[in-house]
Amino acid sequence: MTGFLASVVSLEEARLALQGGADLVDLKNPAEGALGALPLATVRHVVAELGGKRPFSATAGDLPMSPQVVRAAVETLAATGVDYVKIGFFPGGDWDGVLESLTGIARNGARLIAVLFADDGPAPEWIEPIARTGFAGVMLDTRDKRAGSLRDLLGEAELRAFLDRGRGSGLLRGLAGSLREADIAPLLALQPDYLGFRGALCAATKRTAALDIQALGNVRRRIHPLL
């Protein structure tokens, strides 16, 4: 069954996401980019208060693909006790070096999620190297939130191929990227492990606005109509 991922910016929003039925609560700062990072103190506080009630993920930030930079950010974030660390694979830089630098962290128990971006092409050829590094999952998102939703950038065949390749590599697989309520049914048919939302959960569907409990409920009911 596909899970409902809700991105939040604070302890108050994390509580609201749990109340609204989120299966995975994602700690992220949308004002700082596609995968903007929250202050470490905020992540620690949320995990201390709510950890164990649901799985929590947190984003490492919109980082350059420098092995030293990414490794340092991931080590620090993993030490907060968050369940999953999400790492964006942005254009340029040293992707091979980043994966190599994270091998020890992944194999020592940190659950890492690689985020690839539809804007740059889904890059499915990287799924197997990501899996060999020891990552727990892979997610497909959008980098430029002004460009429309994930389904505006990629067709069903491309999305299905990405998910199938992730499944074949034994990874958790998520889809996100300015998803709207109308995107839910077509994406559920592809059977991802998670669908991720921010803007659709906010007042006036603006991703930097506050979460709205009615919008949370609307999305949850479309993903889990029988609950």
| Alpha carbon distance 193, 163 (integer Å) | 9
Non-local CB neighbours of 208 within 8 Å, separated by 6+ positions? 30, 31, 202
| Alpha carbon distance 177, 140 (integer Å) | 8
> For residue 191, what are its two tokens?
């059977």
Q: Confirm whether 145 is a catalytic residue.
A: no
Which residue in 53, 86, 145, 206 is the catalytic one? 86
Which residue in 28, 53, 145, 206 is the catalytic one? 28
| Alpha carbon distance 197, 49 (integer Å) | 22
Q: Confirm whether 28 is a catalytic residue.
A: yes
| Alpha carbon distance 20, 76 (integer Å) | 29
> For residue 138, what are its two tokens?
């892979």
Q: How far is CA 66 from each of CA 72, 87, 139, 143, rounded to the nearest angstrom? A: 10, 12, 20, 18
| Alpha carbon distance 208, 163 (integer Å) | 28
Residues across the chain: 227
Region of 109 please: left (phi>0), alpha (psi -120 to 50) or beta: left
Q: Which residues are catalytic?
A: 28, 86
